[in-house]
Structure 1
Amino acid sequence: MIKLCFKIQQQLQLLTRHIDGVVLLLIRLYLAPVMVQAGWQKLANFDSTVQWFGDAEFGLGLPFPYLLAILASLAEFIGGLLLVPGLAVRWVSIPLLITMIVAMVTVHAENGWLAIADSNSWLADGTLLMNPSVMEAPEKLAAAKSLLEEHGYIEWLTSSGNFVILNNGIEFAATYFVMLLVLLCFGAGRYTSIDYYLSRYIARRCGL
């Protein structure tokens, strides 16, 4: 039985060795629009971005806000674009990882883990980075629905989904961080990226 399981595992390893590039391609294509959109929004509203980076009262209170705004905006926008064809993926993953760390620490950490407030989640009970206001989400939703039922178009507004309370915790940024870490460690992917063919070309030219 053990021998059979070992043979099956070997076959799975051989199979996944040829499709691992597809997995990494899917990660790149998932991350690309997220990063491009975030970078584009910062660039399109650059003055507001600089002010938000530097202001300690309503923003992040970071030093050198102009420089950091440029670096973060370009890292996300250009880095996101390069993820699509898979060019210099390990290199662009580094500034994007740093951007995610900064976002988690300066923007999201105080709100706990959850991106969407859900008082029924086990992560809302203090297990991981609790945000006490999450527990008030049902009351907030009930109040909002009551106001809309009385003064708004509740059926039309909820026709494409239910209302939620945005908690803005580190959940999404942490997920993107892990995905970028995978790209940093494993690269852009076999057969599915410019990096793969470029590295083969350079290896042949250099006799490696």
Structure 2
Amino acid sequence: MIQKITDFFDGIFDKCKRFDFIALLGVRLFLLPVIYEGAHSKVMGFSGTVEFFASPKAEGGLNLPFPELLAFLATATEVSGLICIALGLFTRLISIPMMVVMTVASAMVHWSHGWLAIASNDMESAMRFNNFIVWLSENFPGRYNYITELGDPVILNNGMEFSITYFVMLLVLFFYGGGRYVSADYWLRKAVTKK
């Protein structure tokens, strides 16, 4: 009985595998705006990126050696990653330096803030922000309504949550590639195997 049930569901899951490319396309599409924001900010504000990499930690920087080189490598990796992941081109290969970027970001920027990307209500920063919102509602109700009419404002904790999530998504792309049908890798591999 159990074997029949298992076989039945295995048959359904096997049929669903024809659509597994949708999940990989979804991962790629999810990552694109994230990578774009990082790449765009580094390209447009390259000198600021160099300064952030070079500045002492006491001044909010990373205090890294060779800041120009490291800023260039981070920028080049994100720009290349954006193009390759968008096209599904060399997906597995580009995921490696992208995972390195996410690991460095987690360790150097986000680690000291803990796990959460958004501050929970019991964190000091969130409590201060909530006190400000209460003050705003009491003293400037029109401004309070303007700020809150589209949803509850939150405060960024800048923890590792997002960068680790992106790392895991890149790890999926490393193991499975860009997916069938909607990636340049698939069509290149198909063209090569026909010869």
- TM-score for both structures, normalised by structure 2: 0.91
Deviations 1:113-155 (A, max 9, x none): 0001114xxxxxxxxxxxxxx5324531332113322146100
Q: Give the root-mean-square deviation of aligned CA atoms.
A: 1.5
Aligned amino acid, residue 202 of structure 1: V
- Distance, in Å, in 1 between the alignment partners of 2:100 and 2:177 is 17
Aligned amino acid, residue 61 of structure 1: N
2:39 matched residue in structure 1: 39
Unaligned runs of 5+ in 2: none
Runs of 4+ in 1 over 4 A off after TM superposition: none
**Are the equivalent residues in 2 in contact too, given 1:50–1:65 (CA < 8 A)?**
yes
- Distance, in Å, in 2 between the alignment partners of 1:12 and 1:71 is 45
Aligned amino acid, residue 63 of structure 1: P
Aligned amino acid, residue 9 of structure 1: F
3-state secondary structure, aligned to 1:72: helix
Deviation at 1:198, TM superposition (A): 0.6
Q: How many residues align?
A: 191
Describe how 1:97-176 pairs up with structure 2 within 5 A. Answer: 97-119=99-121, 135-149=123-137, 150-151=139-140, 153-176=143-166
Kindly indicate whether residue 157 of structure 2 is the aligned counterpart of residue 188 of structure 1: no
- Distance, in Å, in 1 between the alignment partners of 2:8 and 2:38 is 43
**Are the equivalent residues in 2 in contact too, given 1:34–1:80 (CA < 8 A)?**
no
2:97 matched residue in structure 1: 95
**Are the equivalent residues in 2 in contact too, given 1:18–1:190 (CA < 8 A)?**
no
Aligned amino acid, residue 64 of structure 1: F
- Distance, in Å, in 1 between the alignment partners of 2:163 and 2:177 is 20
**Are the equivalent residues in 2 in contact too, given 1:114–1:169 (CA < 8 A)?**
yes
- Distance, in Å, in 1 between the alignment partners of 2:96 and 2:48 is 25
**Are the equivalent residues in 1 in contact too, given 2:119–2:126 (CA < 8 A)?**
no
Unaligned runs of 5+ in 1: 120-133
Q: Which one has the bigger helix percentage?
A: 2
Relative distance call for 1:43 and 1:138 in structure 2 (3 A) is: closer
**Are the equivalent residues in 2 in contact too, given 1:117–1:164 (CA < 8 A)?**
yes
2:23 matched residue in structure 1: 23
Aligned amino acid, residue 182 of structure 2: T
Deviates more, 1:72-81 or 1:22-31: 72-81
3-state secondary structure, aligned to 1:197: helix
Deviations 1:57-76 (A, max 9, x none): 32111121111111111211
- TM-score for both structures, normalised by structure 1: 0.86
Deviates more, 1:86-95 or 1:10-19: 10-19
3-state secondary structure, aligned to 2:5: helix
Aligned amino acid, residue 48 of structure 1: G
Deviations 1:7-39 (A, max 9, x none): 123313422321111110010011011101211
State the identity %: 40
